[in-house]
Amino acid sequence: MKRFSILLVSTLLLLTGCTPKFNDDTEDEVVQKEEEPTGQPSIVPTYKLSEEDYRVILPYRTSKARGVITNQMGANRLDIDELEQGLLRHSKEYFDPNKYYFEEGQYLDSKTVFRWIDELNPELDDDATIEEHRDNPRTFTHILEQNYLQRKEDNTVELVGVSFGLALKSQYRFYAEGRGPFYETIEEDDMLKKGKEIAQTVLERVRQIDGLQEVPIVFTIYREEKSGSAVPGNFVAKTYVKANDMSIDDWETVEEDYILFPSNEAEEKYFDDAQIVNTFGEEIAGFFPNYVGYIGEGFYVNEELQKLTIEVPIEFNGKSEIIGFAQYTYGLVKDKFPNNYDIEIQISSSQKLEGYIYREAGDEDPIVHLFD
């Protein structure tokens, strides 16, 4: 679902003819004094997609730990996307997108990240028993770094903040005694305790890195979903460490959740929403014989639905059928779904994305676009 949505956004910008709400500033040249000793200017783009987005400095510099996240979290691509985008989302609370620029992590390189992950997990040799694995699970998966920069009066930029996303497993998979794989569920309280301990150690280590001694740091703890899940995991805690501080005093609980529709979890946790989505599917099934079902994903914050995405795969016999289906679905969105959250319906065939219907929270009428 998540990768499909990202692809959809890219497609929209190219194909819909709708102009994004770019922020109209004059193009700026700035010098990154630590990384550009020759004085070659970097460009800050004139526009950004919205007031909620960060501008980036060009040429774009990729993370010094590029590729590590895929190696460490490759079992669920949805977790990779959510860790990256979610850390960016939570960082906005502390580093204003209208004041600061974004850059991928430039301080922790691949060797450092791999070494810290290994050192901050329990030591288990090749002869470790099943019980030793269960008592000492290696659940710490990844450290994601993001940097936030501010322009100075002399047209240089300086680092003003760093965010770290710490990813930990909800399920530990291991081999032992010549058998396996074994799967051990990691209780959230245990994972959270471990994550907080790791955050304190990481803080002490990064304070020894040139350039990070005196900047504010945000830490988040992310709980990965089980391998093969249709939805990503979620953030469970975050904290802000002031400049120069060497210890973490307080953590804020994060109440976020991704829910699959249809599912038993949706019925148990969010019954009313599950019934609305189920009714939507039943209404379509009653009028379109080629309909085979839907896949939905709800994003909740503090148990309130923020965005609902539903993919409806269906085989069409022609363009007129696609138009009829979109018209009917448009009516269902208006009549069945409350407008206090974003909703996106993705209409797809076996060949491609045929179109989408989108309504932003607070709007009455959805937007419809069909692709040629």
Segment 163-177 mean pLDDT: 96
Segment 160-171 mean pLDDT: 97
Question: Backbone phi, then psi, for 200, in 5-degree steps?
Answer: -65, -40
Instruction: Using a pLDDT cut of 70, give the percent of the chain over it.
Output: 86
Segment 65-77 mean pLDDT: 88
pLDDT tens-digit series, residues 124-140:
988 999 999 999 999 99
Question: Is the same domain home to 309 and 191?
Answer: no
Token output for 315: 């085989």
Name, in order, each residue with C-beta under 8 angstroms of 247's C-beta and a sequence gap of 6 or more: 200, 203
Residue 42, pLDDT score: 63
Residue 27: pLDDT band with limits 50, 70, 90: low
The alpha carbon of residue 355 and the mean position of all alpha carbons in its chain are separated, in whole angstroms, by 24
| Residue that finishes a domain, picked among 186, 220, 254 | 254
Residue 7, pLDDT score: 38
**Is 70 exceeded by the pLDDT of residue 17?**
no
Question: Is the same domain home to 230 and 338?
Answer: no
CATH code, domain with 301:
3.30.300.190
> What is the rounded distance in angstroms from the CA atom of residue 297 to the CA atom of residue 307?
8
Name, in order, each residue with C-beta under 8 angstroms of 294's C-beta and a sequence gap of 6 or more: 261, 277, 280, 281, 284, 310, 311, 312, 313
Residue 4, pLDDT score: 40
pLDDT tens-digit series, residues 36-59:
433 445 666 666 566 788 988 888
pLDDT tens-digit series, residues 264-280:
999 999 999 999 999 99
CATH code, domain with 230:
3.10.570.10
Residue 24, pLDDT score: 46
Name, in order, each residue with C-beta under 8 angstroms of 272's C-beta and a sequence gap of 6 or more: none
Segment 203-221 mean pLDDT: 97
Question: Is the same domain home to 245 and 319?
Answer: no
**Is 70 exceeded by the pLDDT of residue 188?**
yes
Tell me which residue of 323, 332, 346, 356 sits closest to 277, measured CA to CA.
Answer: 332
Residue 290, pLDDT score: 78
Question: Is the same domain home to 250 and 293?
Answer: no
Indicate the helix (H) or strand (E) that contains 110.
helix 110-120
Surface-to-core class of residue 297, CB atoms within 10 Å of its CB (0-12 exposed, 13-18 middle, 19+ buried): buried
Question: Is the same domain home to 185 and 331?
Answer: no
Question: Is the same domain home to 249 and 293?
Answer: no
pLDDT tens-digit series, residues 100-112:
999 999 999 999 9
Question: Is the same domain home to 233 and 333?
Answer: no
Residue 131 domain boundaries: 2-254
**Is 90 exceeded by the pLDDT of residue 80?**
yes
Tell me which residue of 299, 300, 170, 166 sits closest to 225, measured CA to CA.
Answer: 170
| Residue that finishes a domain, picked among 228, 254, 280 | 254
Question: Is the same domain home to 140 and 189?
Answer: yes
Question: Is the same domain home to 194 and 70?
Answer: yes
Please, are residues 185 and 170 in contact by the beta-carbon 8 Å criterion?
yes
- Give me the DSSP letters along 279-338: HHHHHHHHH-TTB---EEEEEEETTEEEEEEEEEEB--SSHHHHHHHHHHHHHHHHHHS-
**Is 80 exceeded by the pLDDT of residue 249?**
yes
> What is the rounded distance in angstroms from the CA atom of residue 32 to the CA atom of residue 10?
29
Greatest distance between any 2 Cα atoms in the chain: 67
Segment 203-220 mean pLDDT: 97
Residue 242, pLDDT score: 96
> What is the rounded distance in angstroms from the CA atom of residue 290 to the CA atom of residue 266?
26
Residue 9: pLDDT band with limits 50, 70, 90: very low
**Is 80 exceeded by the pLDDT of residue 6?**
no
Please, are residues 222 and 166 in contact by the beta-carbon 8 Å criterion?
yes
Q: Considering its fold, how many domains does the chain have in total? A: 2
Higher pLDDT, 187 or 372: 187
- Give me the DSSP letters along 173-215: EEEETTEEEEEEE--HHHHHHHHHHHHHHHHHHHTTSTT-SSS
> What is the rounded distance in angstroms from the CA atom of residue 25 to the CA atom of residue 28?
9
> What is the rounded distance in angstroms from the CA atom of residue 281 to the CA atom of residue 286?
9
Question: Is the same domain home to 9 and 124?
Answer: yes
Question: Is the same domain home to 217 and 322?
Answer: no
Residue 47, pLDDT score: 63
Tell me which residue of 321, 323, 311 sits closest to 352, measured CA to CA.
Answer: 311
| Residue that finishes a domain, picked among 204, 219, 254 | 254
**Is 80 exceeded by the pLDDT of residue 74?**
no
Tell me which residue of 165, 140, 157 sits closest to 103, measured CA to CA.
Answer: 157
> What is the rounded distance in angstroms from the CA atom of residue 190 to the CA atom of residue 117?
18
Surface-to-core class of residue 241, CB atoms within 10 Å of its CB (0-12 exposed, 13-18 middle, 19+ buried): buried
**Is 90 exceeded by the pLDDT of residue 292?**
no
Question: Is the same domain home to 263 and 250?
Answer: no
